[in-house]
Amino acid sequence: MILRNGSVFTDLGRFIPADVELEGDRIVRVAPANTLEGDEVLDCTGKYVTPGFVDIHMHGAFGSDFCDGTAEDICTISRYEGSVGVTTFMGTTMAFDEPILTGIFEAANTRFGKEGEGAVLRGVNMEGPFFNKSKKGAQAEKYIVDPDFDMFKRLYDLTGGNIRLVDVAPELPGAVEFIRKASQLCTVSIAHTSATYDEAKEAFANGATHTTHLFNAMPAFTHRAPGVVGAASDYAAHVEMISDGIHLHPAVVRAVFSLFGADRVCLISDSMRAAGMPNGEYSLGGQKVFMTDGKATLEDGTIAGSATCLPECFRRAVGFGVPVETALKAATINPAKAVGLFDELGSITAGKRADVLVMDKGTLQPEVIFIGGKRQ
């Protein structure tokens, strides 16, 4: 398949006029525009040709949750995500005990890397249970515990090393030692925390590189107490941001890109099962969630994840004034790098997976979606 004469988003984070050749599940060539010939040609004149979206923090969609712990629910999520332009995702957990997490991961083991159901599950984001109860957000307090590396390692081994990101509050007892050990196995992220600047700085010094949903479930960023946000600006390789217009004000979305630059921000959805669904009552982590017009909350009004898919978060970021190239990099290249997948996906590069979108330049909606070279 030749994708001819599109505005192709390169691994340098900019658009160039080019042809792209797909063969099997791979991108085999990126060449100057209107130079490639083939039996199948898709005219992409006036369109963007981009990598598929990479969502490294999402709980569920279309009525299903990763923590439902069934292969069927994972397939439902995959189909929905693939239909909107997400081609890779990390199934994200909530705070649960080890027996519950074991069941969730056993189901995930049947779906890691599996093709043919839409977006591909390529790992786990273990969000919880190693959190500060004072910043639990929508996490169930009864399951929150201090960092336990032995528990984490048992679950990591159970998944065959497919936990790609684990979250921890660095001020908790044993957290620094946990970070030191866990960072040898996967990306470690600061999350659901009351850490000071110095406590977060120590976490980064001992192997943490990532920050979960910046500003949410952490101390405020102030001029005398910069906290986690300030430490992340100095030391984090990547930070996550939910740009749904509910979790953060549009001015904050713009400010994050100004503070962290185009290479360090990862847009995420943090979506739960209400994404793609009508208003109504749902659940997250065993708790009731009410979704009204895209806003998901617990009964007490606490925001409970999002009901917005990553491609829509990307479009909203652009609507808030973030340049298309910057927002797109934050939804493809940067998250792939953050979880160690960039060698395989996340950019339009010869040799990588043929996870490719042909996107309308006006609406930023994907018109054609390829996942592993197969048109969806």
User: Catalytic residue numbers?
Assistant: 270
Tell me the Cα Rg of the chain: 20
Interacting residues of 304 by C-beta distance below 8 A, sequence separation 6+: 137, 138, 272, 284, 287, 289, 296, 297, 298
For the chain, how far is it from start to end, CA to CA, in angstroms?
A: 14
Say which DSSP state 112 is in.
T
Number of neighbouring beta carbons within 10 Å of residue 251: 10
**DSSP assignment of 51-89:** EPEEEEEE-EETTEEGGG--HHHHHHHHHHHHHHTEEEE
Amino acid at 330: A
- Asked whether 204 and 196 are in contact (CB, 8 A), the reply is no
Residue 344 token pair: 């395989």
CA dist 217 and 320 (Å) reads 23
Interacting residues of 344 by C-beta distance below 8 A, sequence separation 6+: 352, 353
CA dist 150 and 205 (Å) reads 22
Q: Hey, is 330 helix, strand or coil?
A: helix
Interacting residues of 216 by C-beta distance below 8 A, sequence separation 6+: 137, 242, 247, 248, 303
Q: Hey, is 29 helix, strand or coil?
A: strand
